A = this chain, B = another copy of it.
Amino acid sequence: MADLARELGVSMTTISRALSDHHSIGPAMKQKVLKLAKKYNYQPNRLASALRKGKSQLLGIVVPYIEGRFFPSVVHGIESAASKAGYNVIICQSNEDVAQERRNLDILLSAQVAGVLVSLSRTTRDFRHFEKVRSRGLPLVFFDRVVEGENVNAVVLDDQEGGYVSTRHLLQQGCHRIAHLAGPQHLNIYKNRRQGYLDALREAGLPEDESLIIYTEMAQDQGAEALRQLMALPNPPDGVFAAGDYSALGAMQEAHRLGLQVPQDVAITGFSNETFTTITEPPITTIDQRCEEMGQAAVRLLLELIEADGRPFAPRHIALRPELLVRGSSARTEGALPSPVRDPAAKFAGNVTG
């Protein structure tokens, strides 16, 4: 910058202002400066700028890990939205460990990020480290795995709605006895999916039957075992809403083993839109969790907080509407397959990376 100033015979102030498009600089001067900057291949030093302004163009992300289907997609959404707004992201993994989560936050603080996006580690029970973030006045948004309470900014999927639309769909397909493969109820997502299921039953005037709800850890083999158990009932179900795709898969495989037709004898739906749900026979009806939208929504909220710049801001809780993807495992009626097959794998089927 000093070089440019010398060469143009002006002060560094002018250069600085021209480069940051300050209003008090004439267009002629701006052109000259920009031209010379290009010629000299000038690269602004964002560190220095951030140090001086006390605000960087960096957002911090803390996720449990970057694997599987969910988090990478959310991160994808976050990076895209952030980048569009002129921010970059620095990403940390907690590996499901509170201690690491704490360390990650410290690092992000000392990196002077402009805001933080967090999805909680599974082992986080104590939330004091987030108080530290807030006491610095640093904008903070949770996504997916959020701190409970009204006093936080958060973006989540409306799991209850997901359970509701899945179950209602099964009812519409002519199912009269609908079972539920439930997940660990101490986790909100599974509790809410179950609640949505119950809501739909109640709305349809069907009784709540605990023998139709099987609690598992959502693994494939547990789904199979659960289906076996259900089909051994005196009055077996004709529809199954599984709170996860893996247990839905296990259930479907077991149904086939028992000689049952899916969806005719038993209709099955899952949850999460895992890649494999489109390649089974039949493909599995599921709920898309709008991973990317979640990332984008989280960034939008965070940017609002950043712009608010410390001024009072009523915390917001955003619940995204889940999308039901009707596929063969549950489509018993004509015209049950109107929704586009949003194939999570389509994009990568011919992936040059292998």
A residues with CB within 8 A of B: 41, 43-48, 50-51, 56, 58, 64-73, 75-76, 79-80, 83, 88-93, 106-107, 109-112, 119, 122, 132, 144-145, 157, 159, 183-184, 187, 189-190, 217-220, 243-244, 246, 249, 253, 271-272, 274-276, 279-281, 289, 345, 347-354
Contact = CB atoms under 8 A, between A and B. Distances in A.
Nearest to A246: B349
A220 B68 contact: no
Contacts of A145: 352-353
Protomer copies: 2
B112 A46 contact: yes
Contact of A80 (B93, B106, B157): B93
Contact of A354 (B43, B220, B244, B345): B244
Contacts of A184: 352
Contacts of A90: 58, 88-91
Given A88-B90, A107-B88, A279-B249, A354 B70 contact: yes
A106 B279 CA distance: 41
A221 to B, nearest CB: 9
A339 to B, nearest CB: 19
B45 A47 contact: no
Contacts of A350: 183, 217-219, 244, 246
A142 to B, nearest CB: 13
A189 B56 CA distance: 39
Contacts of A72: 66-67, 71-72, 75
Nearest to A103: B83
A76 B93 contact: yes
A4 to B, nearest CB: 16
19 contacts: A45-B110, A46-B112, A48-B51, A58-B90, A66-B66, A66-B79, A67-B72, A67-B73, A67-B76, A69-B348, A88-B92, A89-B90, A89-B91, A119-B353, A184-B352, A219-B349, A219-B350, A249-B279, A276-B279
B47 A111 contact: yes
A220 B219 CA distance: 26
Given A88-B90, A157-B354, A279-B280, 13 more contacts: A45-B112, A47-B47, A67-B73, A70-B354, A71-B72, A79-B91, A88-B107, A89-B90, A122-B352, A184-B352, A246-B349, A275-B275, A289-B354
Contacts of A353: 64, 68, 70-71, 119, 144-145, 189
A112 B47 contact: yes
B110 A70 contact: no
Please name the 3 residue pairs, one residue from A and one from B, whose CB atoms are nearest each other, closest first.
Answer: A72-B72, A68-B348, A276-B276
B46 A111 contact: yes
Contacts of A45: 51, 110, 112
A275 B246 CA distance: 12
Contacts of A73: 66-67
A45 B52 CA distance: 12
B46 A110 contact: yes
A70 B351 contact: yes
